[in-house]
């Protein structure tokens, strides 16, 4: 388990609890003059690379750090020295993960920055599947609505991951999946052994529907054998 959060979570009591309960963490760390001094060489290098290439440049430094009073121990900190067209942008993270598990660049770019994408997924559920529709006066009713939204999000995420693989909608949001693939008119016929769903011949996503069916069959049918 890895706890990931912004600089508001970089508190000694929380980090100490994680360290004592075999829970890893990576938190943003508010910059200060002492931290910036630790990466002055990297900032100069990033600035030089920026002026040579004209593109944003990043350099990293891995070091041990402890605050004067608020932290009870020394911890691993990774500093990102970045030069942008608007100026330098130093950032820092503190983590219990070792260098062997994650090098400095991977720790920041692959693990910590993915936090922003997780926030996008939460917004996707709120806006596309109405997780924020909790207007009932009863707590249990609002809780049930949130459960329904969460189950729907899990199902649509799996449909996107498996069913839409290899299609132009493979990275689309849940709201788009609802509009283009679920909220469509169709004729449903029932027989003894089958359920027939017939879409209009002019439906523009027939090929994607066929691809979804093939992907789901290929992925899930072998699991039942």
- 150 and 173, same domain (yes or no): yes
- Last-in-domain residue among 83, 112, 141: 112
Domain count, the chain: 2
Same-domain pairing of 76 and 140: no
Distance CA 102, CA 41 (A): 22
> pLDDT digit string (tens) for 122-143?
889 988 899 988 889 999 999 9
Range of the domain at 11: 2-112
Share of the chain above pLDDT 70, in %: 99
Q: Look at residue 223 in the predicted model and tell me its pLDDT.
A: 63
Looking at the DSSP bridge assignments, the partners of residue 77 are 63, 94
Residues 71, 162 within the same domain? no
Can you tell me the mean pLDDT for 148-163?
94
Do 98 and 169 belong together in one domain? Answer: no
Strands (E), the chain: 2-5, 24-28, 57-65, 75-84, 87-88, 91-95, 186-190, 195-199
For the entire predicted model, the pTM comes to 0.65
Give 61's contacts (C-beta < 8 A, 6+ positions apart): 38, 39, 41, 42, 78, 79, 81, 104
Q: Note whether 21 and 102 are same-domain residues.
A: yes
Q: What is the pLDDT of residue 224?
A: 58
Domain match, 103 and 166 both:
no
Residues 142 and 174 grouped into a single domain: yes
pLDDT band at 111 (very low <50, low <70, confident <90, very high): very high
Q: Examine the pLDDT at 222 and tell me if it is beyond 80.
A: no
In this predicted structure, what is the pLDDT of residue 201? 85
Q: What is the SS3 assignment for 84?
A: strand
Residues 18 and 99 both lie in one domain: yes
160 and 186 in a single domain? The answer is yes
């Amino acid at each position: 388990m890895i706890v990931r959060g912004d600089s508001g979570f970089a508190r000694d009591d929380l980090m100490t609890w994680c360290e004592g309960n075999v829970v890893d963490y990576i938190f943003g760390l508010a910059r200060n003059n002492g931290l910036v001094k630790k990466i002055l060489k990297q900032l100069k290098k990033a600035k030089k690379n920026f002026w040579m290439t004209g593109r944003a440049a990043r350099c990293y430094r891995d070091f041990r750090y402890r605050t004067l009073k608020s932290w009870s121990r020394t911890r691993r900190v990774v500093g990102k020295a970045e030069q942008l067209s608007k100026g330098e942008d130093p950032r820092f993270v503190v983590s219990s993960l070792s260098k062997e598990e994650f090098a400095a660049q991977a720790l920041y770019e692959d693990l910590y920055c993915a936090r922003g994408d997780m926030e996008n997924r939460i917004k996707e559920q709120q806006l596309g599947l109405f997780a924020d529709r909790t207007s009932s006066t009863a707590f249990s009713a609002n809780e049930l609505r949130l459960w329904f939204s969460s189950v729907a999000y899990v199902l649509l995420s799996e449909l996107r991951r498996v069913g839409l693989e290899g299609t132009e909608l493979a990275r689309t949001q849940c709201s788009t999946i609802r509009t283009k693939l679920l909220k469509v008119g169709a004729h449903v016929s029932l027989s003894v052994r089958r359920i027939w769903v017939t879409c209009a011949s002019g439906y523009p996503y027939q090929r994607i529907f066929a691809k979804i069916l093939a992907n789901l069959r290929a992925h899930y049918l072998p699991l039942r054998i």
